Amino acid sequence: MVSEEIKPKKQRDEECIINCLPGELIERIFFKLPVSTLLRCTGVCEQWHKIIRGPQFVTSHLQHAPHYALLFFPQESVSGEPHPADAILIDEAWSLSTYAVPVIGPDDFLCGSFNGLLCLYTKSSTLKIANLATGEFLHLEKPVKNLRGDHFLFYNFGFHPLTKEYKITHLLGDSIEGRPRPHNNNRFSVVQVYTLGDEKWRDIKTPEALSLNCVKNSGAVTIDGTLYWLIEDVVASWQHAVMTFDLCGESFAQIQLPATKPEDFAAGGSRRYWIREMDGKVCVATAQTCPSLPRWLVGKLQIWELENKTEQRWIQKYNIQYSPDYIPGPNLVHGDKIILQRCDGNLYSYELLGENFNTELCKMAKLLDFSPHKPDNMQSYICVKSLVRLDVYKKTAIVRRPKQREGWELKKWEAWEHELSENERMWSDTHRDEHKETARAQRYRMMINNLLPHILDDTIRQEISMNINQISPNFPDQQPRPIRRLNWVAQKQDLQNLNARMKKYNTIMKATDEVTSSIISMMGGAIEDQRASSSNAGISSHNLSEADDDVKTLIPESLP
């Protein structure tokens, strides 16, 4: 370590100034910085490390952190070809992220997001808790090993603002009589709960057997420390009710849906229901399906908001005239716009215009093309990038290291990785060829300029001089290739850019070769004419022979 005596005076003065800044001022500056920059700042000095890694700053930074819409697409097979799980982040300016989220593996499923932490369901015997921004993660043992019929939708991740505890819940299907396991996929009577940092899962019995199909079809959300999902209630006007599970007291309660029955569209089919989060509130969305195409929606999309949980009072938030084809979840709204999917394979944002709750969709903007992923598989969450640490939880007995290979190491993804490598190779080859052809064009121009004095015909010499500058392939600037893995939307765009660049390369080279061939032809013809004239006049053609040889040296290199 360098002693204070031998440090340069300027360095000692700068360090003194930094250390003399008030901690509150440094924190206010740090609040403006992204997590990636803050992580680098922790290595600047001990004071900065202490501030940034301190619990108080982590909590305050979380409150100042900008919000993102996290669009998650699970792994699925399309025409027999596997496509990995992927995620797109949309910031508050509605710009899409470019890079893949490193903590999301190709086979992972997303169960929830809170305070910058993701809960991911894996196909192995573990769940994964990961920090979206820092890349820190840990694997937790699932409550039941080798559970047949288990599903990522039966897991949920939440945070209670009073206890400051993170909890994972699992809806455990009832066992079929006579079989210890597997489970019945239709009903559940136990909610399994794990508090991050505890040693084991705990079983909490439900008031009655509840439907797992409702959870699969309608979803579940955790808001302000309470888990909400829909249950069947055949006597209610909506034939559904809301069941809640408080993460603090670990108790159940039931909330009735609005007494007003949704108005059905005459040509519509059966009605679907979703429980969603909008602006931090519990909402229930409902729309009718198309009779001939049950996955499509028709008529109006009605969205009701739980205004008062204690009084079970609902208000109608939106009554959207033209419903979308699909409704993503668990969040519908990001900022002042609603995110909706269409059957054309695209995701759109709309501004909501209207008075009271009667609303029209306006100012449609295409966000992305989500093909080949299926539209009704997409999930959306509102998330942040945070400094929340996981190392304090890593010593609990439930933390596990995956026993088998996982993620991109699996053989099923070898072809996918090979395709990405091939794309990088083609980019490298294209950049190399562009550099090579640019250097070759420079040599041509120099050689032609050296030969011009041998051309005595002023008209031909001027024409060649005018065409020389066209022997200059104008390739686009070569941007450095990304080191990190791109998300699948950026990969598609990158491949389109590669194909367009290769096409432009061929077009430029064709035009350059045509100009070069034309110049060589003119020079060769001019020299032949001059040789004939010299012979007729009895003049030595030694210099012309040298020029002719120089022209011939261009021909093999320039013409393909």
Give the strands of the sheet with 183-195, arranged side by side.
155-160, 165-175, 183-195, 202-211
One DSSP character per residue, 488-503 reads HHHHHHHHHHHHHHHH
Summarised one tens digit per residue, pLDDT across range 418-464 is 999 999 999 999 999 999 999 988 888 888 888 888 888 888 888 88
Domain 65-409 is found in CATH 3.30.9: no
What does the alpha-carbon distance between residue 533 and residue 556 come to, in Å, rounded to a whole number? 27
- The answer to whether 231 and 255 have CB atoms below 8 angstroms apart is no
Average pLDDT value for the chain: 84
Q: Which two tokens stand for residue 3?
A: 């002693």
Residue owning tokens 């005459």: 266
User: Which SS3 state, helix, strand or coil, does residue 356 take?
Assistant: coil
**Type of residue found at 499:** N
Output the furthest CA–CA distance in the chain (Å, rounded).
117
- Residues 6 or more apart in contact with residue 368 via CB below 8 angstroms: 88, 96, 346, 347, 489
What does the alpha-carbon distance between residue 531 and residue 78 come to, in Å, rounded to a whole number? 69
**Type of residue found at 448:** I
Pairwise pLDDT comparison (17 vs 261), residue with the higher score: 261
User: Which SS3 state, helix, strand or coil, does residue 431 take?
Assistant: helix
pLDDT at 4: 47
Which residues of the chain form CATH 1.20.1280? 16-62
- The answer to whether 116 and 166 have CB atoms below 8 angstroms apart is no
Does position 322 have pLDDT exceeding 80, yes or no? no
Q: Which of 114-118, 136-140, 350-354 shows the lowest mean pLDDT across its residues?
A: 350-354
Summarised one tens digit per residue, pLDDT across range 70-121 is 999 999 888 888 899 999 999 988 999 999 999 999 999 999 999 999 999 9
Cβ neighbourhood burial of 440 (10 Å; 0-12, 13-18, 19+)? middle
- Residues 6 or more apart in contact with residue 72 via CB below 8 angstroms: 85, 86, 87, 104, 110, 378, 379, 380, 381
Q: Which of 128-137, 256-265, 512-521, 546-555 shows the lowest mean pLDDT across its residues?
A: 546-555
What does the alpha-carbon distance between residue 407 and residue 379 come to, in Å, rounded to a whole number? 20
The whole-number average pLDDT for the span 482-503 is: 92
What does the alpha-carbon distance between residue 193 and residue 195 come to, in Å, rounded to a whole number? 7
Handedness of CA 27, 161, 136, 334 (dihedral sign): negative
Summarised one tens digit per residue, pLDDT across range 1-50 is 444 455 565 554 455 566 677 777 878 888 888 898 998 988 888 888 88
Does position 539 have pLDDT exceeding 90, yes or no? no
Q: Locate the DSSP E strands across 290-328.
A: 297-308, 313-320
A 10 A CB-CB count for 94 gives: 14
Does position 167 have pLDDT exceeding 70, yes or no? yes
> Residue 128 to residues 103, 193, 449: CA-CA distances in angstroms?
9, 15, 67
Cis peptide before 476 (omega within 30 of 0): no
What does the alpha-carbon distance between residue 221 and residue 275 come to, in Å, rounded to a whole number? 7
What does the alpha-carbon distance between residue 501 and residue 334 come to, in Å, rounded to a whole number? 35
63 phi, psi to nearest 5 deg: -70, -25
Dihedral Cα 255, 258, 263, 268, nearest 10 deg: -10
Residue environment code for 446-456, b if the CB has 16+ CB neighbours within 10 A, otherwise e? eebeebeebbe
User: Which SS3 state, helix, strand or coil, does residue 253 take?
Assistant: strand
- The span from the first CA to the last CA of the chain, in angstroms, equals 62
Residue 522 CB-half CA count within 13 A: 22
- Strands 81-83 and 76-78, by their bridges, are antiparallel
- The answer to whether 205 and 193 have CB atoms below 8 angstroms apart is no
pLDDT at 282: 94
> Residue 123 to residues 263, 303, 404: CA-CA distances in angstroms?
42, 34, 11
Q: Which of 108-112, 297-301, 515-519, 546-550 shows the lowest mean pLDDT across its residues?
A: 546-550
Which residues of the chain form CATH 2.120.10? 65-409
Domain 16-62 is found in CATH 1.20.1280: yes
- Strands 226-232 and 240-246, by their bridges, are antiparallel
> Residue 133 to residues 115, 137, 222, 393, 473: CA-CA distances in angstroms?
11, 11, 22, 18, 42
**Type of residue found at 248:** C
- Strands 202-211 and 379-383, by their bridges, are unpaired
